[in-house]
Every structure is written in structure tokens, then in C-alpha cells.
Amino acid sequence: MQLERVWTDGATVMNSLISPFRNTDRRQEAVRYGLAIFAAVAALTLRKLLNPVLGTSNPYHTVWAAVVFSSWYCGTGPSVVAIIISSLGVWHWFLPPYGSFFKSHTEVFGMLGFLLFSAVFVALGETTRRIALKRERAEVELREAHERLEDRVRKRTAALEEKAVLLDLANDAIFVKSANGTISYWNEGATRLYGWTMTEALGHAPAELLHSEYPIPLWEIESRDEWEGEIRHAKRDGTRIIVVSRWTKIRDANGNLAGWLEINTDITDRKRAEDSARALSGRILTLQDEERRRIARGLHDSLGQYLAALKMTLDAFPSPTPVQAAALSDSSEMVEKCLIETRTISQLLHPPLLDEAGFGSAARLYVEGFARRSGIETNLDLPKELTRLHADVEIALFRAVQECLTNIHKHANCSSVDIRVAQDAKQVRLEIADNGQGMSRERLNRLLQGAAEVGVGIAGMRERFRELGGSLELRSTRKGTTVIVTAPMPQCAAVDSTPDSSSTRTISAA
């Protein structure tokens, strides 16, 4: 009963010591000192109560517990205080002669042993406590870091979900291809365009899923950081579509390849409209050529013949008086001029040689007339044996020469022009270069884009050769402008007959 009362009183005292000191470090330090003092006093009291049972042979039984408790839970300072109190209590009350501080040498050695082992316990306890504190600080930091990471993940997830919602609202098909070539993200726009859901698309290679037809090899596209071009795809129902595809290479924090972001816009309807417009443009140009041919033939065969007959009649008409002779001479001269103008207009509209002898002869005749009229030295380089081409190709080449020389005369401010024609089994190539002042980059871009304010000449040439499956290239520097057109060889005919054997002729104003 006395022992229970002592422990109850001790717990009461300990709670009374702890309760005022729980909020600050100073209070916590006071609590640790109070606990150490309480442990030492309690150990001495307990030893006193157990004295009838244990006797006086070993007075250190209970104070060891106080030392260990203080060392493990209270710290170095409180442990030293507990050791001092315990040592003084044992020395005074439990070592003979009792109640006196003067002891024998034997008791002194025992006390020194107690103090030595107590110091060891204090050192071990401090080391263990510090390790525990470090572990506790590390656990706290780890927990805080984990909480911060979870918070960042939550925010990142929310942001990604928000972006995913926005991406799903986009009309474009947007998907991500991982580094191994399979789809790892697929938005609702892709589902609407192609028909496959995200679940069905994930893990598949886009080239296999969409039966892609690339304009260049796939490895070349994937080797670039960014790429844009047209790709043909197949929808789930088998329908073929054309998309403008924009690729962006994705890299991780270390710069390693993580995949590709692909954004596709369906331009199938636009391409159909462009093809229809191109076909209509080609048809208009064909009708224009036919109308020019008809008008030129009418001028040459009808009006030209009438003018020639009229001139012969005037030349044969008698002139009895000088006045009549002068009038007849002036009339014959005007008819001659009309006849020359009629033939010139007929040649410009559609030279008969183009149908009769081919592009080479027609180009040579036109270039001679251009050099004579403009005063610009013009060099025409034709192959020795220029194969007759398809009628549409010959018309397109002649119109290209005609349009380029007209523009050169109006805008180039040059002294010479070089025209070269090359032909092989696959295509014919026409290059027209002047040594003029060139054109600004802005005007060059507008010409290439077919802007309305720069006229329809270049645009018409481009449409002609595009309709034939060829191409048009325009270059310009301060040293001059070069136009290069190509056309395929759909069919060949007889060799173009030429008036002379020379393949290259320099034509100057005579």
C-alpha cells in the first residue's frame, strides 16, 4: 500500500511538473529535468521501501533504473542530475555507516564503479537519443517531402485533366506517340476524326492503325525536331482522308527522346475543292488556248488572206495621175502594215508552227521576234534532236516562254536572257534566266503564293504545269531572275524538224 501510494504521489508530482511546461523548449527542458529528479527520488524511495526485502548488500538496484530512464528519455544534463542525486542518496542512506558521508575505501570504489557505468549509460543513451531524433527529423522531412510531392502530383494531375479536357474540345486529332512507336495518348478529336476510341487506339502504332502514306520516309520525319506536311490516312470505316500533320519531338528532362506529339487537321474537303478549282483552271486555260488557236487561225487564214488580196489589187491598180499613184502607194503601205500586225497578232495568239513543227520551231520563231522588238539579246539553247511532245506540254512550254519574256521586257531591266531546254526519258526541263535587277523577297513571295495584285501570269503557269504533273520554281536575286519549269513525258512523237542544224542560237536586235 505504501509503495502504491508512493507511485501515485510520484505520478501526481510528475503530471504537476509536466503540465505547465508543454508548449516551449524551455518548458520541455524543465520537464526533462523534473522527470530525472523524480526518477532519482523515486528510485531512492523505492530502495528504502524494499530495504527489508533486499537488505543492505547492494544499494544500487533501483537507482540503475533511474539512471537508464534519465539517459534514454531525459538527456545528458538531466541524467547527470539524476546520477548526482542517486549517488548522494545511496552514499548517505544506504552505505555504512548510515547517515554519514564518511565511508570506507571499499564503498568509495563501489561508488566510482557506479559512476563509471552510469557515464557509459549516459553516453549510450545520448547517442541513441540523437539517432532517434535524427531518424525522427528525417521521417518528418520525408513525410513533408511526400506530402509536397503528393500535392504537386495532385496539382499536376488537375492541370493535366484540365488540359486533357481542352484537348478533347479541339476539332483537331491530337495524339502522342511514345519512344517505342505506340500511341500513349488519344484525344476525343482523334476519335471523332478516325473512329477509334482511346482504349482501342492505345498501344498501336499510328502507321499500322491509320494505314499512313507519308510524303517522305517515316525515319526522316522522326529524325527532325519539328515537321509539317500532308499525310494520307484511313478511317475506321476504310475511308481515305488527307490531313495536314504537325509533328513535335518530345524529350525528357535529360534530353532523351520521349516520343512525338502529332496534331492532324482534316483537309480532305479542302483538297477536293482545290483539285476541282485546279481542274476548272486547267479547263479554262485549255479553252483559252483553243480560243486563241481559233482566233489566230481566223486572222491568218481569213483576214490575212483578205489583206494579202487587197494589197495585190492595190499594187495592180493603174495610177494615171501622180495624186492617184501617191494615194495607192499609201493605201498599199497601210495594208502591208495591217498584214504584218495581223500576222504578228496571230503568232502571239497561237503560232501555226506550234501545231505543225512543234515547240522548238515555234519557240525559235517567237524568240527571234522578241529579240527584234525588244532589243534584248536572247540566247536559245535547244537539244539537237528535240522530241515532239504531247500537245498540252508543248503549249504549256510555249506559254511559259511567252509569259516570261513578256515579264522580262516589262520589269527586268536586263540586257540578255538565256533560255535552255533539256529533255530525257522522264521529263522536259525549261529554264529562263535574265541578268536584270531581280525582285524583292516580298514580291517573290507574293508571286509564289499567287497573290491577286501581282497578276495571273505566274499563277497560270503554275496551274498549267501542276495539271500536267510538273512543277514551277522561281528564284530571284540582285543578279537576275530564273524560272524553271518541268513537265513529264507522257508520250513521244517524231523528232522536231528544225530549219538549221545548230542547237544553240544567239539572237540579237538587228
Radius of gyration for the alpha carbons in the chain, expressed in angstroms and rounded: 53
Q: E strands along 301-451, which residues?
A: 377-381, 416-423, 427-434
The C-alpha atoms of residue 402 and residue 395 are separated, in whole angstroms, by 10
Phi, psi of 422 (to 5 degrees): -125, 145
Instruction: Give the pLDDT band of residue 195 (cuts 50, 70, 90).
Output: very high
User: Could you give the angle at the alpha carbon of 393 between the alpha carbons of 389 and 399, nearest 5°?
Assistant: 125
pLDDT digits (tens, 9 = 90+) for 109-139: 777 877 887 888 788 877 877 787 788 888 8
Q: Which three cell numbers stand for residue 328?
A: 495607192
Q: Which three cell numbers stand for residue 125?
A: 543513451
pLDDT exceeds 70 at position 169: no
Structure confidence at residue 495 (pLDDT): 41
Instruction: Give the pLDDT band of residue 424 (cuts 50, 70, 90).
Output: confident
Between 484 and 286, residue with greater pLDDT: 484
DSSP string, 218-247: HHHHHTSSEEEEEEEEE-TTS-EEEEEEEE
Pairing of strands 416-423, 377-381: parallel
Q: Return the amino acid letter for 337.
A: K
pLDDT exceeds 50 at position 485: yes
Q: Which of 16-30, 227-241, 371-385, 492-506 has the highest average model confidence (pLDDT)?
A: 227-241
Residues 470-473: contacts with CB within 8 Å, 24+ apart?
A: 470/396, 470/427
pLDDT over 90 percentage in the chain = 17
Look at 130-139, 166-175, 226-235, 362-371 and tell me which has the smallest mean pLDDT. 166-175
Q: Which residues contact 371 (CB under 8 A, 6 or more apart)?
A: 377, 378, 507, 508, 509
Instruction: Give the pLDDT band of residue 159 (cuts 50, 70, 90).
Output: low
Q: Which residues contact 121 (CB under 8 A, 6 or more apart)?
A: 67, 68, 71, 79
Instruction: Give the pLDDT band of residue 3 (cuts 50, 70, 90).
Output: very low
Read off the pLDDT of each residue in 70-93 and give the average, rounded to a whole number.
82
Structure confidence at residue 287 (pLDDT): 75
pTM above 0.75, yes or no: no
pLDDT exceeds 50 at position 502: no
Q: Which residues contact 267 (CB under 8 A, 6 or more apart)?
A: 230, 242, 243, 244
183's enclosing H/E stretch is strand 183-186
Instruction: Give the pLDDT band of residue 492 (cuts 50, 70, 90).
Output: very low
pLDDT digits (tens, 9 = 90+) for 36-63: 888 888 888 887 787 777 766 777 778 8
List b or e across 287-316, with b for residues whose CB sees 16 or more CB atoms inside 10 angstroms: eebeebbeebbebbeebbeebeeebeebee
Read off the pLDDT of each residue in 397-402 and give the average, rounded to a whole number.
87
Structure confidence at residue 158 (pLDDT): 64
Sheet holding 257-266, edge to edge: 183-186, 173-178, 257-266, 240-251, 226-234
**Residue bearing cell 501617191:** 326
The C-alpha atoms of residue 313 and residue 332 are separated, in whole angstroms, by 9
Structure confidence at residue 456 (pLDDT): 54
Structure confidence at residue 29 (pLDDT): 85
DSSP string, 423-480: E-SSEEEEEEEE-S----HHHHHHHHHT-GGG-SHHHHHHHHHHHTT-EEEEEEETTE
Q: Which three cell numbers stand for residue 138?
A: 528525417
Torsion angle, alpha carbons of 493, 494, 496, 501, to 10: 150
Structure confidence at residue 76 (pLDDT): 82
- Whether the CB-CB separation of 199 and 186 falls below 8 Å is answered with no
Structure confidence at residue 21 (pLDDT): 42
Q: Helix 304-316 to helix 322-349 angle, to the nearest 10 degrees?
A: 160
Instruction: Centre a 10 Å sphere on the Cβ of residue 66 and count the other Cβ atoms it contains.
Output: 28
The C-alpha atoms of residue 440 and residue 421 are separated, in whole angstroms, by 27
Between 40 and 418, residue with greater pLDDT: 418
Instruction: Give the pLDDT band of residue 450 (cuts 50, 70, 90).
Output: low
Average pLDDT, whole number, for the chain? 78
